[in-house]
Structure 1
């Protein structure tokens, strides 16, 4: 079967009015250098299943839209502004159409042969609401994408040890570093949002992604809401994607936003006292690393809520258009 999947001829994607097995959502922002590779890998997946690909572009100023429109069978939606990852996903949902499942992918991914079919098979067999694949980094190594639910103890453990002593007890670490966890299918709390297959019915019940997070913690929130509604989340190791880890870029402002969004997440899902304690743990994390300029800047941000208004956030469009 694996050989058949790997050698299936490249296929065309379904149009907006056709029923499909999977509607694939790709949120782009300055993604011109990555998008063609992702689309090429998805065409091989379309050789044996019905796929629709929706590109939601967050006002890229590079050639992203030119690249996307070079593929006549993509559905291209311009959001009209930089709405962030959650906002881009929500904008794409208007073009999902009739689909059994929704696959959310970062644009800087390459999907290995058979990955989409493996995700769908796990979704059916486990009756899960969400299934995530194994992620390989640019060097072909397994990226530790599986996460445990954020807690105060885990935040304190990460503040004290960071990436050191990665094999410490799970009560004190959010990232799952045990290599065995990436070799077998199993349920989990959440995973990084670069790639996830969502049952279409579950997606409707869970509702829109929370755009208040812009970038970072939006997937933590989405997985949490799914679990709270009774949907299981599964990891499927035979579904493999490669990720260059460059889609969101890197800057001090994004580091600041990541730290603040962890506090926002705690405030949304926990009481005032617990959220205040969690914020203290985030402060300790940055204080322990304050000899580095980026962490000093982040420390100032998490310590002073007045600075949060300066963080990256959605730029709302004056008007939004869409086309195919």
Structure 2
């Protein structure tokens, strides 16, 4: 039996390179295949494939069709002897859409008993996967989250999962960076409602219970919805000894400072909050719309005028019920 490590790329081969190098230090006995999907088009796919060849992986012609991918190549000689598969998405399907391509491809394979979802800008510590699997088996949990730490300051815990805060209409990151805010393990288990999408594990059996990720978000909030479903249907937990270093916001520009966030990240955050509440807590939609509108003005308060416009546009799109890829941001190829 093996684990499929699923990574969604978007024109960031150097992030992938660092992630794969970190996986070379995986714990003893960890067996996995690496399943990459490139969402950034044919040129980005060619660059990614060339980078893998530079890393010493050996190309092996894949058998059978490419399935849901436009192209599919196969390498051997990956971390711990892993096979590395690289698929080209037929279009930019977003985070959930990219993951679901691999989930559909892998579903008939009885050797795969679990899926480790990793962001490309992560660097797992040795034993991170073993800890996830052990926690799932020990407690009978279908979904297990890793503990995320900063790449720059590994002693700083960034996130140990998420929960939804209905009053302020936003997700809360559960962390223990400051001793005064530490949560006892029992309390954390109660508070935890979803993993961070940067690193978590899903069992094969759990996937049959919760189904694939919801693709209509494109980016943001799909991991929160999936976690809420998992907590109800198959159990959710944190593996505190599964540690993964993470560069927050590297893939999409979701920096903490309002002026530094990308307009796409701001737009999707505001649009998808309304979409998430409409799907999961429709009775609170009116309150959420008022709160999200009020929070758009926080960008004005710090002089982030471009992002104020993006936030307001995202709020209006969420109110109209728009979903999927926001074409206004993808009309021209990214540089």
> Which residue does the alignment assign to 1:129?
142
Matches within 5 A, 1:1-324: 19-20=1-2, 22-45=3-26, 47-60=28-41, 61-62=43-44, 63-68=47-52, 71=57, 72-73=75-76, 74-96=84-106, 97=109, 98-139=111-152, 140=154, 141-151=156-166, 153-155=167-169, 174-179=172-177, 181=182, 184=185, 187=189, 188-229=192-233, 231-245=234-248, 246-250=250-254, 251-271=262-282, 273-291=283-301, 292-305=304-317, 312-313=325-326
Query: Structure 1 residues 304, 95: CA separation in 2 closer, same or farther (over 3 Å shift)?
Result: closer
Which runs of 5 or more structure 2 residues have no equivalent in the other structure? 58-74, 77-83, 255-261, 329-335
Measured at CA, do residues 184 and 88 of structure 1 come closer, stay the same or move farther in structure 2, by a change above 3 Å? same
SS of the equivalent of 1:262 reads helix
Unaligned runs of 5+ in 1: 1-18, 159-172, 316-324
Q: CA shift at 1:33, angstroms?
A: 0.9
- Find the aligned partners of 1:69 and 1:208 in 2 and give their Cα distance: 31
Superposition TM-score, scaled by structure 2 size: 0.75
**Greater relative contact order: 1 or 2 (C-alpha under 8 angstroms, separation 6 or more)?**
1
2:61 is matched with none
Count, aligned residues: 277
Q: Deviations over 1:225-284 (max 9, x none)?
A: 21232x22111121111112212235112211111101100000122x411211111111
* 2: CA distance, partners of 1:225 / 1:313: 25
2:27/2:130 contact within 8 Å kept: no
Q: Take 2:226 and 2:324, find their aligned partners in 1: how far apart are those partners?
A: 21
Cα gap change, 1:296 to 1:23, in 2 (>3 Å): same
User: Per-residue displacement from partner, 1:193-214 (whole Å, max 9, x unpaired)?
Assistant: 0000011110122111111000
**Counterpart-to-counterpart distance in 2, 1:310 and 1:23:** 29
Q: 1:169 corresponds to which residue?
A: none
Q: CA separation of 1:177/1:107 partners in 2, compared to 1, >3 Å: closer, same or farther?
A: closer
Instruction: Name the SS for the 2:159 alignment partner.
Output: coil
* Structure 2: distance between partners of 1:212 and 1:314: 13
Q: Deviations over 1:112-164 (max 9, x none)?
A: 1111111111111111111111111122221134221241x133xx7xxxxxx
Q: Report the aligned-residue RMSD.
A: 2.7
Alpha-carbon contact 1:45-1:113 (below 8 Å) kept: yes
The CA distance in 2 between the partners of 1:261 and 1:238, in whole Å, is: 31
